[in-house]
Amino acid sequence: MKLSDSEIRKINKYLEEGKPLPDEYRFKLFEEKREVELVWNGKTNEITNVVLPFQYIEHIDEPRAETKEESGGKIPLFDLESFDKRGRQIKGWTNKLIWGDNKLILSSLKNGPLREEIEANGGIKLIYIDPPFDVGADFSMDIEIGDETLHKEPTVLEEIAYRDTWGKGADSFITMIYERLSLMRDLLAQDGSIYVHCDWRVDSFLRLVLDEIFGRNKYKGQIIWKKDAVGKGGKKKSKHWPKTFDSIFCYAKSEDNLFNFIAGELTETQLREFRYEDPDGRKFKRTSLGNYSQDSIKKMGEEGLIYESSTGEKYKKYYLDEYTIQLDSIWTDIPGFGVATSSPEILGYPTQKREKIIERIIEASSNEGDIVTDFFVGSGTTSAVAEKLGRKWIVSDLGKFAIHTTRKRMIDVQRQLKKEGKDYRAFEILNMGKYERQYYVGENPDLKDEERHKQVIKKQQEFKDLILRAYGAERVTQSGVFDGKKRDRYVVVGPIDLPATQSAAENIIKWCEKEKITKVDYLAFEFEMGLFPYIQEEAKSRGVDLALKYIPPEVFDKRAVEKGQVVFYDVGYLEVKPHIKKNSVAVELTDFSVSYNQDAESSVEAELKEGSSKVVVRDGQVIKLSKDKSGIVNQEVLTKKWTDWIDYWAVDVNFENKKEIVKVKKGDKFEEVWAGDYIFENEWQSFRTKKDRNLELTTVFQEVPKGRRKIAIKVVDIFGNDTMKVIEVTI
């Protein structure tokens, strides 16, 4: 690098005046020069390297047959070392469904103790992702209530994640995806590959980002998926060509990476070409010998591969049972869900993709037993296909409802594989033990540490003041963990950017004991998955009335706060009844209630057109609002009974049997530590699907050893929020 005196003076002048240097100096000052480089506002080479512990929330495994008689006389699909007497997996690789921010998940997988387990199982051979891109409703869902549909709005956490990660234009999207793709590259095995699914909105950006991260020489091709039907009607004139296809970019960790391009399927026209038969009925088609040498033709004749026509002309035989065609990179034979709305695959998830797409990718870039991953899993298509194809998998999503949808889907897959006599693996639901405060607080990385700390404290304070004002509570100072007080109850406000945790609730109970406080409300936008199996009972046993309440999104509406219209609703309430018969136990679900609110009725009524309707939620009731031709609005309550709120419930008849062990870094090593909680071992479950809306309310009787035991019951409502209760019984 050699700068002239004039250039040095110009640079100093820009620096003295606090102005950015022109782009020409960026290339002159730094030795690294790229032929083409993608530059955007906020670009940085800093990659997250945080390592947070994974909390094991739930273990799910459909029991295999216990005897030859139960498996139809076949040998059971398990061995006694890897499975217990009921056929539940106790050893070996367990598939992983992780809830949380995938940046933190990827960093913790890359740098944490799970990396060792991943490497011991061959490393990650395939990553498929279909990241959200400019889709505001990615965290929305349509939920069926009887014959009606309720549109589930995103949670506050999901809205914030969308706003800060995707909702600020191309810069925020590229920044988000660049760091995550960098982490994914580092996680891939040396012979691994990645497929990135996108559409016209971001395909040009993604290709450049992938080139920069993996290198142009690692580009392995682009798949074009034509998702709309051929010959679909359209306008005679339009402002643009039809957007009828998606792109899937493929890159590999190594230039030498190979793909399993098995065969594509022959068309009817191609099949008709195999019209000739050997005496044994083996079908073949004939092709010219024009490009073959005489020696080759002679050898083919000796092998019986020459066909001679009635006119004496000779041809080469291509047998149907040996003939393969290479799969093309333009896929026109897999319609989108908009074409075949009756498909049994459809789960109602807005960005759901066809299983056939993922099946081709998994078969091309992995083998049985390999680890396949998807860090934007949505409705669980990647994990479902991976399980059916005998692959191990790790999948994650930020949306709690996505995790719940995937859980149900994977249980269905386990049941189907069991029915077919095929093998399958158990899976675990995990989340991050701690979360990074990043969304609402919005730290400015350019500030000095002391100034940044002051900014964080100030924004936290403003946030808590807003919540307390909406709740009708007064702020208290110098009161430990307590933020406010409403009449005779103290108030604690959880964070905006992460779920309220069990450890935080336990800390609240300790402070109550210390300060001789008996009543406290814990407010949060979302509660940790698997939260508080018995935290309220624990608080009650220690003399504390602990109320858990959801903060509604209306707190950010100043008019609603000023009018006192913001309603904070309680965590779900459930009641169960145990049934004991000799040395067996069953559990009956007897009651469940919630107090949710979604959409202000007054604004919905004003927006309704004559002859239209919309479904809203008010104080735990789902209500259909309809406006007739005269402008009169009628109301119909759709939740006729308490069971209408339940989407799924499950039971662990031996809770506290399996301790939750997490690996925490101490010095240079990771040590196993008991987290103080237990893993919910999902032993029986009943849930609704799009095809079957029925729900069983009593479990089957399960034989258990005599004595006292704790039984855990988990209920997931139609919004994807879970409530747990633990009871004690004596057998």
Residue boundaries of the structural domains of the chain: 1-33, 93-230+245-261+327-432, 268-322, 449-494+499-570, 574-650+693-730
pLDDT in tens, 308-347: 998 989 999 989 888 776 778 888 888 876 544 556 676 6
∠ CA 21-26-29 to the nearest 5 degrees?
Answer: 110
Cα(629)–Cα(633) distance, rounded to whole angstroms?
10
Phi, psi of 421 (to 5 degrees): 75, 25
430 — pLDDT class (breaks 50, 70, 90): very high
**CA 55 from chain center: how many Å?**
16
Confidence of residue 75 (pLDDT cuts 50, 70, 90): very low
Q: How far apart are the first and last CA of the chain?
A: 82
533 neighbors 677 (Cβ within 8 angstroms): yes
Q: What is the pLDDT of residue 631?
A: 84
Nearest-angstrom CA–CA distance, 155 and 160 = 9
Confidence of residue 549 (pLDDT cuts 50, 70, 90): confident
What average pLDDT does the segment 362-387 reach? Answer: 95
Across 360-369, 524-533, 575-584, 721-730, least confident range: 524-533
Confidence of residue 444 (pLDDT cuts 50, 70, 90): very low
Q: What is the mean pLDDT of residues 153-176?
A: 67
CATH class, domain 93-230+245-261+327-432, is alpha beta
Inform me whether the pLDDT recorded for 711 exceeds 50. Answer: yes
Three-state DSSP class for 163?
Answer: helix
Residues 617 and 599 sit within 8 Å (Cβ to Cβ): yes
Calculate mean pLDDT across residues 663-690.
Answer: 85
Query: What is the CATH T-level fold of the domain 449-494+499-570, as seen in this structure?
Result: Trna Endonuclease; Chain: A, domain 1 (3.40.1350)
pLDDT the model gives residue 19: 80
Paired tokens of 580:
């004991």
Residue pair 615/638 in contact (Cβ under 8 Å)? The answer is yes
Rounded Cα distance, 314 and 394, in Å: 55
Beta strand ranges found along 61-181 (DSSP E) = 95-99, 124-129, 141-145, 148-152
pLDDT at 425 over 60: yes
CA angle 324, 328, 332 (to 5 degrees): 115
Total-model pTM: 0.76
Rg (CA), the chain: 30
Residue from 226, 195, 210, 198 nearest 132 by CA: 198
Q: Which pLDDT band, with edges at 50, 70 and 90, does 132 fall under? A: confident
Quick one: angle between helices 355-365 and 381-388, nearest 10? 60
Q: Give the list of residues 6+ apart from residue 301 with CB closer than 8 angstroms, or none.
A: none
Report residue 79 CA to chain centroid gap.
32
